[in-house]
Chains A and B, each alone.
Chain A
Amino acid sequence: DQQVKQNSPSLSVQEGRISILNCDYTNSMFDYFLWYKKYPAEGPTFLISISSIKDKNEDGRFTVFLNKSAKHLSLHIVPSQPGDSAVYFCAPQTGANNLFFGTGTRLTVIP
């Protein structure tokens, strides 16, 4: 039972342009929604999060949007940089601090 889906396994973007990564979920009980970035041979690294009571959170080049009625969130990176190339995981969280990871989207930023 996949509660979290990232339907795009990969995404390629030119340096300087916007990267948009999408995530859909089914469980309306999630309290927070986190994004993690993962480089090869390393563990996931926390990037940004949003509370279920908000619809937008911004941190520098990274902005996360939440549409609760559609059970959809997205991560915007602008401008994209080659160092952003990694696998990005959407990870909704319950009140018990349980994370449910999506399957990930591999972002490649082309110089």
Chain B
Amino acid sequence: DAGVIQSPRHEVTEMGQEVTLRCKPISGHNSLFWYRQTMMRGLELLIYFNNNVPIDDSGMPEDRFSAKMPNASFSTLKIQPSEPRDSAVYFCASSLTRGGNQPQHFGDGTRLSIL
């Protein structure tokens, strides 16, 4: 049974470049979440989708960040242009339903380094 799949696992790029992170949620899950983990701020929610619709993007740090979910099996998080302070581990998670005691299942993350 496949879990949440994220790609790439590692990304190193230069400042100013566009970065696209990808996520495939667990089949049948209708909520999808993007998190960022840093030493300073820990794990913080960036945005979440329910039935492919963005519900809350208040955690997105700046307009340089954008997320899409074109269908139930794919989501992207894009940073354009990237900056060194965007370096972090980005996690995608999915859950069966929104609300209630439905644990979120996490991918193994993308470690992003902006030089």
Binding site for B on A (CB under 8 A): 31-32, 34, 36, 41-46, 49, 51, 89, 93, 95-99, 101-104
Kindly list chain A residues whose C-beta atoms are within 8 Å of the C-beta of B56: 96, 98
Mind listing 13 A-B residue pairs with CB under 8 Å? A36-B106, A41-B108, A43-B93, A43-B106, A44-B91, A44-B106, A46-B103, A49-B101, A96-B99, A97-B31, A97-B95, A97-B99, A98-B48
Kindly list chain B residues whose C-beta atoms are within 8 Å of the C-beta of A93: 101
Are A97 and B100 in touch, CB under 8 angstroms?
yes
Question: How far, in Å, is A7 (CB) from chain B's closest CB?
Answer: 14
Chain A, interface SS category = loop
Question: How far, in Å, is A41 (CB) from chain B's closest CB?
Answer: 7
In the docked arrangement, what's the CA distance between A58 and B104, Å? 20
In the docked arrangement, what's the CA distance between A34 and B93, Å? 15
Kindly list chain B residues whose C-beta atoms are within 8 Å of the C-beta of A101: 42-44
Kindly list chain B residues whose C-beta atoms are within 8 Å of the C-beta of A104: 42
Question: How far, in Å, is B59 (CB) from chain A's closest CB?
Answer: 9
In the docked arrangement, what's the CA distance between A19 and B101, Å? 25
In the docked arrangement, what's the CA distance between A44 and B102, Å? 15
Question: How far, in Å, is A103 (CB) from chain B's closest CB?
Answer: 5
Question: How far, in Å, is B106 (CB) from chain A's closest CB?
Answer: 3
In the docked arrangement, what's the CA distance between A95 and B98, Å? 8
A42/B48 contact (C-beta < 8 A), A95-B99, A101-B43, A102-B42 known: no
